[in-house]
C-alpha cells in the first residue's frame, strides 16, 4: 500500500505528464488544509481571514504548478515557504494603511509575533530591552517598530472621536488640529528661541527645521539620517516639552 507521500508523488508525476487541470485540482484539494492552517497562523489584527485564505490558496496553486517531483523533497517542504512568503507580501503590500519602509515593516511584524508569543508564555508583555535583545536591534529601533505597527490599520477619519460640550460626538476629522491653538498661544507668550534652549541640540534642530524653515518630516529625516516616523516621534516629544516650558514661563 502506498504512503501518502508516495501517492502524492505519483499524482505530481501524472500532472507533469498530462498537465490536466483535474490532476492539479486534486493536488490542491489535498493540501488546502495546509494553506488554510498557515493563513490562520498569520492572521493579525482585523485582517479578514477569508482574504488571507484566498492569498494562501492562490500561493498553493502556484506551488503545485511549480513543484518538480523529480527533486527528492516533500511537497510540503516546498509549499510552506511559498505560502508564508505570499502571506508576508500581502501584509507588506496591502495591509499597511500608511506606507512604511519594508525593513521597518518586517521588524515590526517580527517584534509583534515575539511579543504575542512571550505574553502567552509568561502572562506579561516583554520589555523593550528584552525585545531588543531577542531581535538583535536597539531599544530605539524597537520603539520605532512598535509605532510603525500602529500604521497597520489606521483609524478612519469619519469614526467618532472626542466629544463636544453638549456630548455630541465629533469625528476624528473634526478634531484634527484641535491641539495646535495651544502651541500657537504658547509661542506668542514666550520667544521661541528662549524655549528652544530647554531642548537637546538634536531636538532643537528638528523643531527649528520644522517650524521655522518649514521642512517636512521626511526632508528633516533625510537631512539628519533618520526615518520619517522617528522624526515624528522626536518632534512630538519636543513640542510637548516646549508647551510645558511655555506654561511654566507664562
Tell me, what CATH number does 48's domain have? 1.10.1740.10
In angstroms, the first-to-last Cα distance of the chain is: 88
Which segments in the chain show pLDDT lower than 70?
1-2, 45-46, 92-100, 150-195, 212, 245-250
Number of structural domains (the chain) is: 3
Confidence at residue 99, expressed as pLDDT on a 0 to 100 scale: 58
Q: Pairing between strand 169-171 and 160-163?
A: antiparallel
Cα–Cα distance for residue pair 220/232, rounded to 1 Å:
10
What phi and psi, each to the nearest 5 degrees, are found at residue 169?
-85, 130
Confidence at residue 60, expressed as pLDDT on a 0 to 100 scale: 92
Whether 159 is covered by a domain: the verdict is: no
Whether 169 is covered by a domain: the verdict is: no
Residue 74 CA from chain centroid, whole number: 32
Confidence at residue 121, expressed as pLDDT on a 0 to 100 scale: 83
Assess whether 125 and 69 both reside in one domain.
no
Whether 161 is covered by a domain: the verdict is: no
Whether 160 is covered by a domain: the verdict is: no
Q: Which domain holds residue 225?
A: 175-249
Confidence at residue 57, expressed as pLDDT on a 0 to 100 scale: 92
CB atoms within 10 A of CB 242: 22
CATH number of the CATH domain containing 188: 1.10.10.10
Assess whether 8 and 86 both reside in one domain.
yes
DSSP string for residues in the chain: ---HHHHHHHHHHHHHHH--HHHHHHHHHHHHHHHHHHHHHT--TT--HHHHHHHHHHHHHHHHHH--TTSSS-HHHHHHHHHHHHHHHHHHHHS-SS---HHHHHHHHHHHHHHHHHHHHHSSPPPHHHHHHHHTS-HHHHHHHHHHHGGGGPPPTTSEEEE-TTSPEEEHHHHTTTTHHHHHHHHHHS-HHHHHTTS-HHHHHHHIIIIIS---HHHHHHHHT--HHHHHHHHHHHHHHHHHHHHHH-
Confidence at residue 212, expressed as pLDDT on a 0 to 100 scale: 66
Assess whether 189 and 129 both reside in one domain.
no
**Residue-averaged pLDDT of the chain:** 75
Confidence at residue 191, expressed as pLDDT on a 0 to 100 scale: 43
Cα–Cα distance for residue pair 111/230, rounded to 1 Å:
17
pTM of the model: 0.41
Cα–Cα distance for residue pair 227/231, rounded to 1 Å:
6
Query: Which of 134, 145, 70 is CA-nearest to residue 107?
Result: 145
Amino acid at each position: 500500500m502506498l504512503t501518502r507521500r508516495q501517492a502524492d508523488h505519483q499524482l505530481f508525476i501524472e500532472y507533469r505528464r498530462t498537465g490536466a487541470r483535474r490532476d492539479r485540482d486534486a493536488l490542491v484539494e489535498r493540501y488546502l488544509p495546509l494553506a488554510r492552517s498557515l493563513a490562520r497562523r498569520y492572521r493579525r489584527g482585523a485582517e479578514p481571514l477569508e482574504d488571507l485564505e484566498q492569498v494562501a490558496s492562490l500561493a498553493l496553486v502556484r506551488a503545485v504548478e511549480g513543484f518538480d517531483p523529480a527533486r527528492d523533497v516533500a511537497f510540503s517542504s516546498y509549499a510552506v515557504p511559498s505560502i508564508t512568503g505570499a502571506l508576508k507580501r500581502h501584509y507588506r503590500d496591502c495591509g499597511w494603511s500608511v506606507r512604511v519602509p519594508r525593513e521597518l515593516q518586517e521588524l515590526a511584524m517580527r517584534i509583534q509575533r515575539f511579543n504575542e508569543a512571550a505574553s502567552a508564555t509568561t502572562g506579561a508583555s516583554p520589555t523593550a530591552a528584552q525585545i531588543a535583545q531577542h531581535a538583535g536591534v536597539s531599544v530605539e529601533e524597537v520603539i520605532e517598530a512598535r509605532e510603525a505597527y500602529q500604521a497597520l490599520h489606521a483609524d478612519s477619519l469619519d469614526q467618532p472621536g472626542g466629544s463636544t460640550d453638549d456630548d455630541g460626538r465629533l469625528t476624528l476629522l473634526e478634531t484634527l488640529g484641535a491641539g495646535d491653538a495651544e502651541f500657537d498661544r504658547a509661542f506668542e507668550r514666550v520667544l521661541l528661541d528662549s524655549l528652544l534652549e530647554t531642548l537637546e541640540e538634536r531636538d532643537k534642530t528638528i523643531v527649528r527645521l520644522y517650524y521655522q524653515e518649514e521642512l517636512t518630516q521626511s526632508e528633516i529625516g533625510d537631512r539628519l539620517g533618520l526615518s520619517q516616523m522617528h522624526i515624528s516621534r522626536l518632534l512630538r516629544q519636543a513640542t510637548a516639552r516646549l508647551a510645558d516650558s511655555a506654561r511654566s514661563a507664562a
